Amino acid sequence: MDKPLDYKDVFDTLPQPALVVFPEFDDKGSVCRIKVLRENAAYTDMMRSLTVDGNKSDLFRQELKAFPALFGRAMEAGGGQPSFEMELDSKVLNSRFKIETGAIEGGGYVMTLLREEKIRPAEMQESSKPSLDPLTGLPDRSFFNRTFDGIIDTAVIDGQMVGIVLIDIDNMKSINDSSGHIAGDSILRRSAHLIDRFAGEDCLAFRYGDDEFLVLFTKLPSKDRLATVSDVIFDSFQNIGIRISAGIAVCPDDSSNSTDLLKFADLAVKRAKRNGKNNMVFFEQKMYDDFLHRSLLQQKLIITSANGSFEQYYQPQFNLQDNTLRGFEALLRWNDPTLGMISPEEFIPIAEETHVICELGSWVLKRACATLREWREKYGFQGVMSVNVSPSQLLSIGFIPDLEEAIRSFAVQRGTLEVEITEGIFIHDVNRIVPLLRKIRELGVLVSLDDFGTGYSSFRYLQYLPIDTLKVDKAFISNLTDQPSLESNIAESIISLGNKLGLETIAEGVEREEQVAVLRQMNCRILQGFFRGRPMRKERCDAVLAGDLSQLDRIGSEPLAIGGPAREQPAGQGSPWPDDAD
């Protein structure tokens, strides 16, 4: 290894411009800043020729100081040797420099600047000139990417705070689809005009994506100041009738890494959208922790779906009037070896996003049909097996063939298999969904509308939809006994309408005896909930069907019984959709 230079005797006599610098390191051992401690005469003479504007010397020193990452990479590339080289383009000096670096005592370095060539004026102008978005006239994402790293490096060196506000226009796709792209472009131009009003020396505005804008604040005095200005931006959007979801990240509070800051701001935008849209959210570490956990679940979900390590549980449903067993709902459960039991509310949305849901749904359907046949042959079970079907699964081209195959393979009897859909499915295309439901019922399969009253429901649709069962969401059951209450009024209306239309009504989430009494008065037909039975593994269901009702995992204690045959559902039952009416 070379001996560190004794620079004191030779530094001032070097003919090339040179600096004495000391790198400083962060907790991870990366170079976070470079301190310039001494200049030689050649460097001073070079900078003296650049004082026309009075501050070019400082600007060039800032260029050198703004490259700690470059310095660190060059040190690593040198394999820890005391000498290494790197290159620097200086817009101030209109030159490219090769920088030879040698170690000195005390952990410092002598940096000798060797001018290699002049940067061509066109090249220099092109690199510094903002590239503009043609629709809005704002600097575009490309220009932001070229400048952001340098801004963050400078802020870290000077101990300044930088804030980024990432703005996403809500519902742009719906606006373009319903009103046309001309209307959408008008909203984008109005948004750009609004945020451009905030632009100045310490505030830069960019069009960051199709429906995204970014406001970059430099030299912030405090995080409170950023919050105040962000609120003004948000209110300004509200005043012109444009809804936005925005995420805010701060350097150095959240990170001093430009890539991480953008990622954190984007996570905050996603949290704002999950919170109902049209709001602004500051990044918090928990968002990143949740992101990492979600990413882990995505990876595990793909692996788990391939090796078949999911479990199927079954929750009993009981007739309210005579306390007999109506049937079971098949429920997917995931007990990971390292993470433990993972809630369906957590992994089902991820399965939808990763397109694993169709594979899982097909497995659940076949497993439920196989169990249904086994229970019929062993115990004479004639009740209903209910299976949840996601919108993606229902709309896939393979669902009806899979359903037909399962019915044939396991000799499923008419009226013993029930498909559960949520009312949110109708937001996709009601004219496409209804024929699918008719086809399902033609196969002798019941159709249940789950979570009714919580999403896109319309009472008038019920007279047309080809369904057999209406499930009252547990949100209306939890406060059912607080009469008079909005929840009890809605529950009673749903049950009454379902009965008048000849539909079976099922109350979900029943956990108290008082709820049972009220539902009986409302003439609800079926109960499902912890009061009469929690979801159970197949082995315990086997014991129940064999006559051992003590195996039921329940809260209530009233006598129950194994029920009679499943509800008959002849093909063609139910009101026709208006398009089929003569």
DSSP 369-400: HHHHHHHHHHH---SEEEEE--HHHHHSTTHH
pLDDT of residue 16: 79
Task: For residue 441, give the nearest of 573, 539, 312, 346 by alpha carbon.
Answer: 573
pLDDT of residue 577: 35
Q: What are the φ and ψ backbone dihedral angles of 35, each rounded to 5 degrees?
A: -95, 125
pLDDT of residue 172: 87
pTM higher than the cut 0.75: no
Task: For residue 398, give the nearest of 365, 368, 430, 423 by alpha carbon.
Answer: 365
Residues 6+ apart with CB under 8 A from 437: 421, 447, 465, 466, 467
Question: Are the beta carbons of 265 and 247 closer than 8 angstroms?
Answer: yes
Give counts: helices (H), strands (E), the chain.
Answer: 19, 20
pLDDT of residue 52: 42
Question: Are the beta carbons of 172 and 184 closer than 8 angstroms?
Answer: yes
Beta bridge partners of 449: 421, 470
Integer Cα distance of 231 and 225 in angstroms: 10
pLDDT of residue 468: 93
Proportion of the chain in helix, strand, coil states, percent, rounded to 5: 45, 25, 30
Predicted confidence (pLDDT) per residue in 46-80, tens digit: 776 554 444 444 545 556 555 676 777 777 776 66
3-class DSSP state for residue 132? strand
CA distances, 543 to each of 280, 288, 354 (Å): 53, 45, 37
CA distances, 431 to each of 355, 395, 461 (Å): 24, 12, 12
pLDDT of residue 384: 96
3-class DSSP state for residue 36? strand
Predicted confidence (pLDDT) per residue in 26-39, tens digit: 777 777 777 778 88
pLDDT of residue 272: 93
Integer Cα distance of 523 and 526 in angstroms: 9
The two tokens of residue 25 are 């390191």
CA atoms within 13 A on the CB side of 173: 0
Question: Are the beta carbons of 112 and 16 closer than 8 angstroms?
Answer: yes
Integer Cα distance of 444 and 413 in angstroms: 8
Q: Which residue ranges of the chain lie beneath pLDDT 50?
A: 1, 3, 51-57, 59, 119-126, 570-582
